[in-house]
Chains A and B, each alone.
Chain A
């Protein structure tokens, strides 16, 4: 039959990244087993093990602010609940504005964030050096700052959810690829995997950058596209920088870890899709170095220790896709998180679990439901504060 613990599961989760793990965890907590998580790589091999660990609540869409705020609460108590300390450090996100227009846009975000009860601040140009010591004068006209945003170490969060899911009886198989999803009369009936077939009535597509491949393996067309993003880490310095610093113009973002290294990236126009794999480019190394040294000249002699890259799973409107696909009963999306899936995962996957169980969620369908892309017109609301 197959090389998996059982021949039949109530739910099969495709993808063992933070989204798949948290989805399985919430489902198991709801007593909806047996659950199987399949991942063709090793634990943490996807974007979940390659990201910058940023957690922010400053967004252009109210629904995202709310999800993020809930996730911040989740990560604050993560250490007690999951037995692993992700060192979630709430020392703020600082968005830099390089022009009056950008500042005006950040102000609108600030107003929205404030109206949700979060203590965001607008910073004048001369206040920036208090948050970013050594910032080159004239490099920004101002910015916004929210102290309760922060950064965490992704790995312990992964281990914590992985072990919690396992302890709740979830079966997890790594190195196993999902090859196809079978259906009958518009409903999921099973999954074909490299370890053999599994019967199931529900599948969660938490395949991150590969979510459109997995959807296609179920015969579904989705607008998600994978985009490669590069990132680097430097040698450790004495901590001098508290917040995550973000600049919209080039998508520059960086923070200093508890360990002392700077971790950050910026956005380059790489061709979409996963076909070219995950190389690092000279273009990135040099562009990132120029951006960092331009903003913080004192970093000239700091050395880059390593660079790597990972896939964002982008959607046309910058919002994730959460919910059952109207074309295929039992096929539930948990993808399209772009560059923000790690921070949103604990909160977003509560809704994934409810969707699997056929329960209603509090998410506005016009923002998150998969059907929004089936209409001839694109959705009217979109999240555009995507970089960093």
Chain B
């Protein structure tokens, strides 16, 4: 795009140009996925993973402010960008010795106990290494107080994708003016108030005194501006995201989700990989093939492969490996390939590639539903909790609706589902409508069988169960042997799920693995209680928000 405006900023002292609308990550990931930080416990190199502002893979310092997510940040002219934590630098981190010495893992709670006199020394040492950087000095951007946006609305739709749009459009024709809160910045809709670039948390509903507007949403924009909205009805259209997968070295720079890979699809020739090993045999894999096919070297599926994927791969001349166990990444500092084995005791083999793109499992992005206390049910097909819905798309919480991917409604019925919610809000739900087809609830979960088989394989390298906190598969097994059962207890025992992603990328797999280890269905292993805020919120933003209504979450 010649002539498109650009911004010049400094990344590690070097001048870099970002196109208008381009994220910091896209600007600095032109040739290869950059290693931007080191992990917490083992100081392993860490690179962007999720691409959608949820994981701990691209935390950089911008103008001295730590913990900025490069994949969500739009660089400003003259910004100074530095890498995240690493000692002395991200590239050459001396503490990687921890990774080499503690091959079986480093247990912070059972280790470091002796000799007793060394206690304070350990404390000081760990504190020296902890954290993601000092707080920014009080100056410049950090102190600009941006006035909050305070609204009330009859209907709020949270999302921004297709189902959100369909519900909002139907609401408009029914005479409403919905307020749409979109975490991305997508084009709006005539007749709706569309706020883009805001991350929101739901508080409520208030059960006391039958409040007129029982729902309260708190949010913030990337600028730090706060948002406080009260609503009578809320439609959750928050979609889904691509899950992680457990294998040796699954945290290596170059392992990334399809969400992250697709962020580069507008200009595939500039994607930071050229020989991706695509994991998945379903719709999501099809999508990646359609948009980034030229950058894919092989398709690997943990189970069976859909005929459409088979066709797409063969059209592109890409080899296909169905029913494969992913054993481990090849490559010490970044992905150079994968070691695999055909399921059912088949042969071992390896494939070369410069990235592993995870498109095998798309799961609902449901924190708002959990926060509102909606009843959720385990669905074995994708292996996730989905809201319990009536035919009109109403959740168990009056005034709370869910539409689209987050409900597990299958195409092509999603549009119908989205419209039904709008009719229900208008009090015009058809009483005789049939339930829409949704993802499979009963039966075994494909990945459960996969993990049962995988856990019997010999292991090499680190198997990272929780990326944010460097919790290992081995740690889950230790907890299990110690008699700690259930996801809530194992979370507290291992710290799994306590990091910046709040369990988004570890609990979906941990649930299945614990189900295998504990010998009971995932629904009995439970889940982690969702805590607000859904996305970390700056104290400064919260401090500016009025608190005249005490919205609450259960």
Is A79's CB under 8 angstroms from B533's CB? no
A229 at interface, CB cutoff 8 A? no
Q: How far is the CB of A135 from chain B (nearest CB, A)?
A: 12
A83 at interface, CB cutoff 8 A? yes
**A3-61 with Cβ < 8 A to chain B:** 42-45, 49
Is A289's CB under 8 angstroms from B531's CB? no
Is B224's CB under 8 angstroms from A286's CB? no
Is A301's CB under 8 angstroms from B540's CB? yes
A85 at interface, CB cutoff 8 A? yes
Give the nearest-CB partner of B142 in chain A.
A301
Is A289's CB under 8 angstroms from B135's CB? no
Q: How far is the CA of A277 from the CA of B208 in the complex (A)?
A: 13
Give the nearest-CB partner of A271 in chain B.
B208
Q: How far is the CB of A292 from chain B (nearest CB, A)?
A: 6
> What are 30 inter-chain pairs, A to B, with CB distance below 8 A?
A44-B489, A44-B492, A45-B488, A79-B116, A83-B110, A84-B109, A84-B113, A85-B110, A89-B120, A153-B109, A235-B500, A237-B67, A237-B132, A237-B134, A238-B133, A238-B134, A258-B127, A281-B203, A281-B552, A282-B549, A282-B550, A289-B540, A289-B541, A293-B543, A298-B136, A299-B539, A301-B142, A304-B538, A304-B542, A306-B502
B444 at interface, CB cutoff 8 A? no
* Residue numbers in A under 8 Å from B486 (CB-CB): 42
B65 at interface, CB cutoff 8 A? yes
**B107-140 with Cβ < 8 A to chain A:** 108-114, 116, 119-120, 123, 126-128, 130-138
Give the nearest-CB partner of B67 in chain A.
A235
A residues sitting closer than 8 Å to B (CB atoms) are 42-45, 49, 77, 79-80, 83-90, 134, 153, 155-156, 159, 163, 166, 234-240, 258-260, 277-283, 285-290, 292-294, 297-308
Q: Please tell me which one of the listed residues B114, B130, B137 contacts residue A258 in the complex, with CB atoms under 8 A apart.
A: B130
Is A236's CB under 8 angstroms from B218's CB? no
* Residue numbers in A under 8 Å from B128 (CB-CB): 239
Inter-chain pairs besides A155-B109, A298-B142, A306-B533, 16 sampled, C-beta below 8 Å: A44-B489, A134-B135, A155-B493, A159-B482, A235-B67, A236-B131, A239-B128, A259-B131, A280-B532, A281-B550, A281-B551, A282-B203, A292-B543, A300-B543, A301-B136, A303-B538
What 8 A-B pairs come out closest when comparing CB atoms?
Answer: A260-B131, A300-B540, A289-B542, A303-B536, A279-B552, A306-B531, A79-B113, A286-B547
Is B109's CB under 8 angstroms from A159's CB? yes
Is A80's CB under 8 angstroms from B116's CB? yes
Q: Please tell me which one of the listed residues A45, A156, A282 contacts residue B547 in the complex, with CB atoms under 8 A apart.
A: A282
Q: How far is the CB of A148 from chain B (nearest CB, A)?
A: 12
Give the nearest-CB partner of A89 in chain B.
B123
**B213-234 with Cβ < 8 A to chain A:** 216, 218, 224, 228
Q: Please tell me which one of the listed residues B66, B108, B143, B218 contacts residue A237 in the complex, with CB atoms under 8 A apart.
A: B66
* Residue numbers in A under 8 Å from B114 (CB-CB): 79-80
Is A285's CB under 8 angstroms from B536's CB? no
Q: How far is the CA of A84 from the CA of B224 in the complex (A)?
A: 41
Q: Please tell me which one of the listed residues B126, B143, B483, B539 contacts residue A234 in the complex, with CB atoms under 8 A apart.
A: B539
* Residue numbers in B under 8 Å from A156 (CB-CB): 109-110
Is A298's CB under 8 angstroms from B533's CB? no
Is A280's CB under 8 angstroms from B131's CB? no
Q: How far is the CA of A84 from the CA of B500 in the complex (A)?
A: 25
Q: How far is the CA of A236 from the CA of B66 in the complex (A)?
A: 10
Is B135's CB under 8 angstroms from A301's CB? yes
Is A283's CB under 8 angstroms from B550's CB? yes
Q: How far is the CA of A288 from the CA of B539 in the complex (A)?
A: 8
B484 at interface, CB cutoff 8 A? yes
Q: Please tell me which one of the listed residues A49, A85, A281 contacts residue B108 in the complex, with CB atoms under 8 A apart.
A: A85
Q: Please tell me which one of the listed residues B224, B488, B536, B549 contacts residue A304 in the complex, with CB atoms under 8 A apart.
A: B536
Q: How far is the CA of A259 from the CA of B133 in the complex (A)?
A: 12
Is B539's CB under 8 angstroms from A303's CB? yes
Is B538's CB under 8 angstroms from A282's CB? no
Q: Please tell me which one of the listed residues A85, A89, A277, A305 contacts residue B554 in the complex, with CB atoms under 8 A apart.
A: A277
Q: Please tell me which one of the listed residues B112, B484, B488 contacts residue A85 in the complex, with CB atoms under 8 A apart.
A: B112
Is B553's CB under 8 angstroms from A279's CB? yes
Q: Please tell me which one of the listed residues B127, B484, B500, B546 contacts residue A286 in the complex, with CB atoms under 8 A apart.
A: B546
Q: How far is the CA of A260 from the CA of B543 in the complex (A)?
A: 21
* Residue numbers in B under 8 Å from A86 (CB-CB): 109
* Residue numbers in A under 8 Å from B224 (CB-CB): 301
Is B533's CB under 8 angstroms from A304's CB? yes
Given the known inter-chain contacts A79-B113, A240-B134, A289-B543, please indicate yes or no for A307 contacting B532, CB distance below 8 A: yes
Q: Please tell me which one of the listed residues A238, A292, A307, A308 contacts residue B130 in the complex, with CB atoms under 8 A apart.
A: A238
Is B543's CB under 8 angstroms from A290's CB? yes
Q: How far is the CA of A303 from the CA of B7 in the complex (A)?
A: 27
**B268-287 with Cβ < 8 A to chain A:** none
Given the known inter-chain contacts A85-B108, A258-B127, A285-B218, please indicate yes or no for A279 contacting B539, CB distance below 8 A: no
Q: How far is the CA of A305 from the CA of B549 in the complex (A)?
A: 22
Q: How far is the CA of A84 from the CA of B478 in the complex (A)?
A: 14
Q: How far is the CA of A198 from the CA of B217 in the complex (A)?
A: 48
Q: How far is the CA of A288 from the CA of B218 in the complex (A)?
A: 15
Q: How far is the CB of B46 from chain A (nearest CB, A)?
A: 14
Q: How far is the CB of B524 from chain A (nearest CB, A)?
A: 11
B28 at interface, CB cutoff 8 A? no
Is A282's CB under 8 angstroms from B533's CB? no
Q: How far is the CB of A335 from chain B (nearest CB, A)?
A: 23
Give the nearest-CB partner of B552 in chain A.
A279
Q: Please tell me which one of the listed residues A85, A298, A303 contacts residue B109 in the complex, with CB atoms under 8 A apart.
A: A85
**B491-502 vs A, Cβ < 8 Å mask (1 yes, 0 no):** 011000000101
* Residue numbers in B under 8 Å from A283 (CB-CB): 547, 550
B537 at interface, CB cutoff 8 A? yes
Q: How far is the CA of A307 from the CA of B201 in the complex (A)?
A: 12
Given the known inter-chain contacts A84-B110, A303-B536, A306-B533, please indicate yes or no for A298 contacting B545, CB distance below 8 A: no
* Residue numbers in A under 8 Å from B123 (CB-CB): 87, 89, 258
Given the known inter-chain contacts A77-B116, A234-B539, A306-B533, please indicate yes or no for A278 contacting B134, CB distance below 8 A: no
* Residue numbers in B under 8 Å from A79 (CB-CB): 112-114, 116, 119
Give the nearest-CB partner of B548 in chain A.
A283
Q: How far is the CA of A163 from the CA of B132 in the complex (A)?
A: 34
Give the nearest-CB partner of B541 in chain A.
A289
* Residue numbers in B under 8 Å from A299 (CB-CB): 135, 539-540
Q: How far is the CB of B219 from chain A (nearest CB, A)?
A: 11
* Residue numbers in A under 8 Å from B216 (CB-CB): 282
Q: Please tell me which one of the listed residues B65, B133, B539, B550 contacts residue A292 in the complex, with CB atoms under 8 A apart.
A: B539
Q: Please tell me which one of the listed residues A166, A237, A293, A300 contacts residue B133 in the complex, with CB atoms under 8 A apart.
A: A237
Q: How far is the CA of A210 from the CA of B530 in the complex (A)?
A: 23
**B65-77 vs A, Cβ < 8 Å mask (1 yes, 0 no):** 1110000000000
Is A302's CB under 8 angstroms from B539's CB? yes
Is A303's CB under 8 angstroms from B552's CB? no
